[in-house]
């Protein structure tokens, strides 16, 4: 799995539960011989075919714009691997439909960056509320403040919070805030389901895309290697 495919995974998962993300990814992969497409393959595909796989019109436009930049060399795995987290966020959020949530998940999943937190993720905010005994759902600003002592391992702390919430069956909804995608359902993920970005990031750090609790594996990285190492 390369950088483009990891971002494709993130865009597909905006505002969706793990189960819904998996179903759309499965249908999408069926369009491309059982694999996630390359940028060229996605650009060659009829947009209507992508819509039939379950992508919204907005997400089709986003992934096509992303594919175009990878295809013409404006974006590359090498470039992204060399940039700082802030530089990657600034670069990728110039693409309509890609916001901080998508980029932060990409940093954890694809680049294995150790100090990333997803303050806009509702599932994480709920996990922090429970874990810290708060009487209210923390705002994004509060999440950032609470996560400050976790440096330089905020990604790991984020992963533990998601896992603790899942173990309790307490994660109710997840996904990107509206800044990332205007197409997701208002309610986000359903009861008992997990954030595709954060939980995918936990699995990725272990060398694969296994998702033990939601009906089988997510797309697996060939050889269990992170894309920038392959």
Percent of the chain with pLDDT over 70: 72
Mean pLDDT of the chain: 79
**d(C-alpha 200, C-alpha 155), whole Å:** 12
- pLDDT of 128 reads 95
List pLDDT tens digits, range 73-102. 999 999 999 999 999 999 999 999 999 999
Token readout for 220 is: 């697996």
Domains of the chain: total: 1
- pLDDT of 213 reads 37
DSSP output for 163-186 = HHHHHHT--------TTT-S-S-T
- What is the CATH classification number for the domain harbouring 9? 1.10.340.30
User: Is the four-CA dihedral 202, 204, 206, 210 of positive or negative sign?
Assistant: positive
What domain range includes position 36? 3-229
More confident residue, 205 or 21: 21
The pTM of the full predicted model, rounded to 2 decimals, is 0.74
The band of 201, judged by pLDDT with boundaries at 50, 70 and 90, is: very low
- Is the confidence at residue 200, as pLDDT, over 60? no
Which residues neighbour 52 within 8 Å (Cβ) at sequence distance 6 or greater?
27
Q: Average pLDDT, stretch 180-207?
A: 39
Which residues neighbour 14 within 8 Å (Cβ) at sequence distance 6 or greater?
59, 97, 101, 102, 175, 176, 180, 181, 183, 184
- Is the confidence at residue 23, as pLDDT, over 50? yes
- pLDDT of 109 reads 84
DSSP output for 30-56 = HTTTTSPPPHHHHHHS-HHHHHHHT--
Q: Average pLDDT, stretch 194-223?
A: 39
Main-chain dihedrals φ then ψ at residue 4, nearest 5 degrees: -60, -45
The band of 21, judged by pLDDT with boundaries at 50, 70 and 90, is: confident
**d(C-alpha 183, C-alpha 204), whole Å:** 26
**d(C-alpha 84, C-alpha 135), whole Å:** 36
- Distance between start and end Cα atoms, the chain: 9
List pLDDT tens digits, range 106-158. 998 889 999 999 998 888 999 999 999 999 999 999 999 999 999 999 999 99
């Amino acid at each position: 799995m390369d950088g483009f495919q990891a971002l494709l995974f993130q865009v597909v998962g905006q505002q969706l539960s793990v189960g819904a993300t998996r179903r759309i990814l499965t249908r999408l992969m069926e369009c491309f011989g059982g694999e996630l497409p390359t940028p060229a393959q996605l650009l060659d595909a009829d947009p209507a075919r992508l819509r039939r796989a379950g992508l919204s019109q907005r997400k089709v436009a986003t992934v096509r714009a992303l594919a175009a930049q990878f295809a013409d060399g404006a974006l590359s795995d090498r470039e992204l691997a060399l940039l700082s987290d802030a530089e990657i966020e600034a670069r990728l959020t110039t693409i309509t439909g890609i916001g901080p949530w998508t980029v932060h998940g990409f940093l954890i999943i694809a680049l294995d960056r150790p100090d990333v937190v997803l303050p806009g993720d509702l599932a994480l905010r709920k996990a922090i509320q429970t874990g810290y005994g708060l009487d209210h759902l923390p705002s994004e600003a509060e999440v950032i403040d609470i996560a400050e002592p976790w440096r330089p391992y905020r990604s790991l702390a984020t992963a533990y919070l998601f896992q603790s919430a899942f173990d309790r069956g307490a994660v109710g909804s997840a996904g990107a805030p509206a800044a990332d995608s205007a197409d997701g359902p208002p309610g986000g993920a359903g009861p008992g389901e997990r954030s595709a970005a954060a939980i995918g990031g936990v699995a990725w750090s272990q060398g694969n895309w296994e998702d033990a609790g939601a009906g089988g594996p997510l797309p697996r990285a060939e050889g269990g290697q992170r894309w920038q190492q392959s």
